[in-house]
Structures are given as C-alpha cells and as structure tokens.
Chain A
Amino acid sequence: MSPAWMETSMRWSSAIAAAALATAALAPPLAAPSDRPLPTFVHKLKYAMGTVVEIAVYDESLTRASAAIDRGLQEMVRIDRMMSNFDPTSELSRLNHSAYAQAQEVSPDLYRIMEESLNYSRLSGGEFDVTVGPLVDLQKAALRGEHVAGAEEEEKLRSCVGYEKVELIPPNRIRLHSPCLRIDLGSIGKGYAVDRAAEVLRASGIKSALINAGGSSIYAIGAPPGESAWLVHLRDPSGKIDPRVLLAENSVSTSEQTPASLLTDDSAGHIIDPAKGLPLKSSFAVSIVAKSTAASDALSTTLLLLGPQRGKQLLGKLPGTAAIWVSPTGETQLVSSGPEIRITNTVAAGQVQ
C-alpha cells in the first residue's frame, strides 16, 4: 500500500482543500450496524460558480466517496461553463447570440434548465424571469451613476425582454423572439448545478451526502448514518429564533438583500426589483424548501420580491414546499405544504402554518 503522502500527491486534486471541521464530530456514528463496515466521512471544497462549493459524503468506501465527490464537483464546473455569460464561447452565450435568427439546437441540460425556468416564470406571473438581465444591468449602472438611461431607452429595453419571448421547441431547440433578449441563468443555474451533482453522486452509488453551494443552495441525499435526515440551520438575521429544517432528498435555498451600509447612506443592494428599477427594500431573509435545488433557488429570490403575503399564495400552488421569512427583529412568516421548518423561539405573532 502506498504511503499516505504519496496518495496525497496522486489522488488529491490541488484544487480541493479540506474544510475545517471539528474533529470530535467525525468519529463513526454509534448507530451504524455492526455487521457492516463503518461509514467514513469525506468532505471536500472547491471554488466554483463564484462561491465555495462543498460536498460531504458518508460511505463505506473511502475511495468511492472521494471519487464521487470529485465527479460531482466536476459536473458543477461543467454546468457553470455551459451557462456562463462571461465566456462568449459558452453554450448559453451562443444561444443568446444566434437563437433570434433561427431556433438553435441545445444540449439536454440547457433545454431542461430553460424548461424549469419558464415553468417558474409562469407560476410566478413573471416575477421570476431569466430574461430580465439586460434591464437589471441598465438599472444597476444607473444606481452606480455610470449611465442613467432615459425613459425611452428603458422602455425599449422593457419591450425586448420577457420570458414569453422564449420558445421551446421539443425535444431540443430554443428560439428567441426578440433580437435584444439575453438569457441570464444566475438565479437558477447554481441550483440546477447542485441537482446535477446530486445525480452524479447517486449514479456513483452514494446514498448519504450533503451538497452546499455557498450556504444559499443546499441539497441532501439520504441522511447521515443513524439519522433520519440532515439538519440544516437556516439564515436568521435576528440571531434569535434559530430556524432549521430536516432535509432528505430535498433542498433549501436562501435569499436576502445585501445589508444596509453602516457608515454611508448608500442603500444599493445586489437584488434589484425589475419592476421599479430600484434595489429591493426588504430586510427579510427567506428560505424555501423544495424537491429540487433548481426549484428552491428559483423560488427564493421570487419570494423575496413577492414578500410574505403574495409569496404564500404562490407556494400554495406547489406541493412539497415550505418557506420561512425572518426579519432582523425575529418576526417570522411560515408556510408549508409538507416539509417542516422548526424554530426555537417565537418572537412575534404572525406565524402562519
């Protein structure tokens, strides 16, 4: 058998660093059946999709776990490259450039993610829309003081965006019915990539894994040994109520506006309300549990834009979902059609179960 340091250089990608986890927690779980090898715990990180992606796996085979994680991370990088708007040679860039003149053939992945995107656009009445990127870019430029668009310019841009101008032609073609429309999959792509990584892990025989993309998009396969589900603590801007959810074969995504400036009057946040052209004024953090990460990602920003009241109406149409809005003072709004989101303390009335 090769010495440990040799395997280090051979088997470990230099791109993958280990996370800092508490050693005490990593002992094999007591509940593991005695007639089987004890599951090992493997955890790797990679910088991808503009964030730190982590995959944690429990498996009897260290080699299988390690190789499966590597394949899952590679799959996320592949999806990221496919959806890049910065790389002019990416599949999405090519679609944006040429699908107006005539329908373009696309890969099954791009077709599938566009199908899902348009589905959530219809469900949300257009609040979720992967075509509004150019409008948001214009609005952000105005907020930065770089280019203030006139009413005519903005109106023209509004007229050329809109999810209904994207046509899917089964089984694998897409046509854009506007010359200035540009698809930006930033609000759903990370979730889709997480789902793809989960598929790759499953295909590799992994039955217990947690995939986390930057803390805002998380998917769970199975459960840790001896447990019924993975426990995920959710964002709590109040620090008072500790919302959490048990995940097993489902996902959770979180959205919140960038915090207000402490030392300046600059209120610009990263989430722009396309209807108003202004940074969204919301101090809520919203977390949504859904069956896939693409779904929870798409819905989290949408629910932040809609707010609790309209958001709850939307979720009413979607089985297997749950959402929680948490304010900086600990006020919560909860809705569920299945998954249970738990909180430790009830700070204020107004919870809707």
Chain B
Amino acid sequence: MPMRKPVLILFFMVVVAACPARAKVILRWTEPAIPAAKSLGVSDVALTFDASRSPLLESARRAGYRVFVEATPQQAAELAPAAAKKGIAGFIISVGDAERSAFDAQLEKLRSAHPKLIFRGLNSHGKRPQIRGRMVVEHNGILHVSSPSSQPWVDSNHALVRFEQAFHPGETPLYTFQWELTDTLQRQLGPSAADYSLAIAEAGALRSDLLLNLHAPLQIALAQRDPGAWTLWKDVRKYLEFSAHAAAGSDQALAYVGVITDDFNKSYEAVNLLARHNIPFRISPPARLSLDTFADLDIVILFAAPDKKSADAVFAFAKQGGTAVLVNIRGEFPWQSAAKSKVGEEAASYATGRGRVIEYPGPVLDPETFAVDIRRLMGNRKTIISLWNSLTTVVVPYRDTKSGKTTLELINYAEEPLEVQLQMKGTYRQARYSTPELGCCQAIVPVERDGFTDLLAHKLVIAGRADLEPAAKRDRK
C-alpha cells in the first residue's frame, strides 16, 4: 500500500510534550437516519458539508450529538455566521497538501472571527491500524510479495500523532483514515468489531482524537435498531469507554530519544520505525534548541541542520554523556575537532567527553536497521522499556508529572490474546492492569530485578493499560 505523505514543511516553535485533554472519537455519519448519542456512547458526530443542509443536521442535534461539519476553509467561513443558529458546534477542516503554515493561518483567522465555534484541523493521512503482510496487488493486477522479512509489520498512527503533537502544541491531534476494504469478503462484511476497537484503542493510547468512518451498512442497521448491529456495537463501546478513561492532564509521554526535524517526509519512516520498535521518543523542531531541550534524553537524532547555537547545545549534550546522531547533515560543527573513528560502513563517530556524536552521511534508506541501531546505542541499562512475546504490540509510556505514576498504554495490532512480558526501568511498588475485557484495575505483581521491574500483561487482546505506582523514594535503589 503506498503511503500518502503530505508535503508538509513544518516551521513551528516550542514543543510541549504534555498530553492534552482526554481523547475523543468523532463519528463520521453519512446515512440519513442516526441513533441516539447516548445509545452509541459517542457525543460528537461529523457531517459532510452537503449533509449540513439536509434534515440529518437537525436529526443529529435532536439525537443528542454535538454536531461538526466537515468543510473547506472557504465553506466554513461561509457557513460560520449561521452555524450557532443551526446548532452546529464547529467545523472540521482537512489539512491538504498545501503548506501547513498557510493552513494554520486560515484556521486561526476563523477562530478569531468566530470565537464561539470550534475549528479543528484534520489530518486525513492516517493509516488503518493493522498488522500488515507482504502481499501487494499492483494496479495491473499482479499479486506479488514484497521484500521478505521475518518481522511482522504494523501499520500504526503513532508517528503521525507525534508529529501533530510536536508542531501544534496545546492542540489535541485529530486524524482519520480510510478502511480500504479491498477483497470481496471485506467489502461485503465491512470492518469487524475488533477492527473498530483497534482504531479507537490506538487513538486513545496516543491521546489523540479520531474521526472514525463507519461502514454504511452498519450505520443503517444501527439506525434501524437491528439487534445484530447493536451486538457488534456493544463490543466497540467497551473500547470507547476504555479509551475515555485514559489519563490526561498532567500526563507526559515518556521519551529517551529526541528527534529533531522540520520535515515530515524526510524523517517519517525512521520515526515510524522507532515507534514500531517501542523506542519512546519525542519530536522537536530545530529552532531554539538548548540543553534544556535534551534534559531527560539519552539520544538525540537530528534530521535538520542545527544553527550555531543549537549545534553548541548538541555538543554540550554529547559532552555530558548523551549520544547525538546527525542524519544526512553536512557542515562544520564544534565536535569535529574531537577524536574521530569510523563506525558501520559509512558513519563517523566523534568522542566528546562522556558522550559521542555520530554523523551518518546519507538518508536513512533502511529505517528498520536504523531503529535497531538506536536501541543498540542506548544499551540495555538505559532502555526505559522492553517487551517480549509481543512483536505485534506497541506500548506508549506516560508519566504523571505530579504524582510520578507511570501509565503504560498497550496496543496489540494482531487482535488476539497475548501474554506480554514487560520490563520497565525503575522500581514500582504496585501495578494495576486493565483491559476492556477484564475491566479495571487487577493487581499484578511487579518483580524487581536490578533496577528494572518485570510485569506480565495477560490476556491482552487489543488494548491494555498498566498503572505503576513508584516505590517510595527511600525504597528506590
């Protein structure tokens, strides 16, 4: 499946990794009849611009929904003055392939002109979350198998959401994806309850909002109160409720790797593979880098050339024991006067005090090996989190800045039960584990091993959450 990459040159300023308010699912509703909001367990729906002129708008409002209209900036500007009267809560505006900064300016203008309405930017380049095979059918009808690998591949929206969070701090990302129901069976049946649940669980784990497409026959059946459809939706609702209980507020995504980039395209695949390998990372734009930017990081990967001040910050970070990796960046930098050695086939490593700077001369053509290398550079002692028996599982760690509580959000893209072994750096006195199927807060026994804590997440079907209480300071080693 070719990945659509928006041509986005990102120019923004300061990154705040704090996670915004609780993630929401907005249903994209396309059929004329709509069931009550309370029964679906969803409070927001999005209608097309055309539907906003149909009786569906009023039906949705009466059914208890907060109604959003999908529109272009021009359509939103046209409809906004009458929106409140029509019961429209706001507009969802898709970010096109145009320069993102121009889009942001349009959004800001609309927000200023209509402060009582909500205007959300929508990233429509999301991917259907799934495990992915190697068969590809080309447009000329040839089915073939792409390059072999024993590693299962996961299509996730982790990297996409992190880019959105980095370059739009303070805004909850909103994305959508198409189901791409391609074979005869899929087109007839539509996505399963597990497929919907995975999409909802993923967005919740990433603390992102999701505009979810519902298969049209399912919309009709739900509106007609068909028992079978509601049986399916009952399963999906468990995941809506589970995701709604994801922590928020003072939660911060944990990271030990920083990615410095100003270009989505240039760094996307490498970042995607960091996520796939469960390497906690955060993305920062290259402007105004300082030593504070790297405060809690062990490795910094630069895809954008640092200016002199930023280069000095990178050098200081490396002198204090950090590892900086420059990808395809040429120039004169302060660390180049340090002792140089060759690493790998092409890279050069500079010994800088307690750390090092590695210059990799080309673009990352093999992001899988690159991600594995970042883990190698980290070493076992510094790695925050490791998973076993879980090639299809992605874990996203968060820490509450006030209480110190750590939350691990687990997503199993294989959609079938797994026993996942986790090892978390640090010592924890208590762990509680929840899944949509098991319910809330089963006690699991954390086993401490030499500064790390081992945990077993059992019966992980699609989503799981482990809440870890830190050991009291005097108990910590």
Contacts and interface: CB of A to CB of B under 8 A. Distances in A.
Contacts of A19: 130, 132-133, 135, 182
A22 B373 contact: no
Interface string B162-185: 000000000000000000111111
A21 B133 CA distance: 10
Nearest to A270: B150
Interface stretch (A45-53, A134-142, A172-180): A45-53
Interface in A33-57: 40-43, 45-47, 50-54, 56
A206 to B, nearest CB: 14
Contact of A8 (B232, B325, B369): B232
Nearest to A244: B144
A9 B215 CA distance: 13
Contacts of B185: 40, 42, 62, 65-66
Contacts of B146: 215, 233
Interface stretch (B30-38, B116-124, B340-348): B340-348
Contacts of B138: 22, 25
Interface centre among A9, A42, A212 (most CB of B within 10 A): A9
For chain A, give the interface size range. 35 or more
A42 B143 CA distance: 13
B135 A4 contact: no
A262 B377 CA distance: 11
Contacts of B229: 3, 5-6
B391 interface: yes
A263 interface: yes
Interface string B434-473: 0000000000000000000000000001000000000000
Contacts of B475: none
Contacts of A45: 130-133
A21 B370 contact: no
Interface string B125-160: 000101111111111111111111111110100000
A152 B347 CA distance: 39
Contacts of A40: 183-185
A315 interface: no
A244 B144 CA distance: 9
Interface string B358-391: 1010001010011011101100000000000001
A23 B155 CA distance: 18
Contact of B346 (A18, A42, A262): A262
Contacts of B152: 47, 50-52, 214
A283 to B, nearest CB: 11
Contacts of B370: 262-263
B106 interface: no
A22 B3 CA distance: 12
A62 B187 CA distance: 12
A45 B416 CA distance: 12
Given A20-B130, A26-B182, A7 B153 contact: no
B217 interface: yes
A16 to B, nearest CB: 8
A15 B133 CA distance: 14
Contact of A23 (B180, B366, B374): B180
Contact of A4 (B145, B215, B369): B215
Contact of A212 (B131, B139, B145): B145
A231 B155 CA distance: 25
B144 A231 contact: yes
B373 A214 contact: no
A42 B181 CA distance: 11
Interface of B: 1, 128, 130-153, 155, 180-186, 188-195, 215, 217-218, 220-221, 226, 228-229, 231-232, 235, 325, 343-347, 358, 360, 364, 366, 369-370, 372-374, 376-377, 391-392, 413-416, 461
A217 B198 CA distance: 28
Contact of A47 (B141, B226, B345, B392): B392
Contacts of A258: 369
Given A9-B232, A20-B155, A56 B184 contact: no
A54 B133 contact: yes
A292 interface: no
The 3 closest A-B pairs by CB, nearest first: A215-B148, A14-B194, A6-B228
Interface centre among A5, A41, A260 (most CB of B within 10 A): A5
B131 A263 contact: no
A48 to B, nearest CB: 9
Contact of B366 (A26, A41, A259): A259
A65 B413 CA distance: 24
Contacts of A210: 135, 143
Interface centre among A17, A46, A210, A254 (most CB of B within 10 A): A17
Contact of A12 (B135, B189, B231): B189
B218 A212 contact: no
A21 B136 contact: yes
B183 A20 contact: no
Interface in A103-148: none
B114 to A, nearest CB: 38
B346 A54 contact: no
Contact of B149 (A4, A62, A215, A233): A215
A264 interface: yes
A22 B221 contact: no
B137 A26 contact: yes
Interface centre among B134, B146, B195, B374 (most CB of A within 10 A): B134
Contacts of A41: 183-184
B150 A50 contact: yes
A9 B235 CA distance: 10
Nearest to A47: B414
A95 interface: no
B184 to A, nearest CB: 4
A218 B182 CA distance: 22
29 contacts: A2-B228, A5-B190, A5-B218, A5-B221, A6-B228, A8-B192, A8-B232, A17-B414, A21-B136, A22-B182, A25-B140, A25-B142, A40-B184, A43-B183, A45-B131, A45-B133, A46-B414, A47-B131, A50-B150, A54-B134, A214-B151, A214-B152, A215-B147, A216-B149, A231-B144, A232-B145, A235-B148, A263-B360, A264-B344
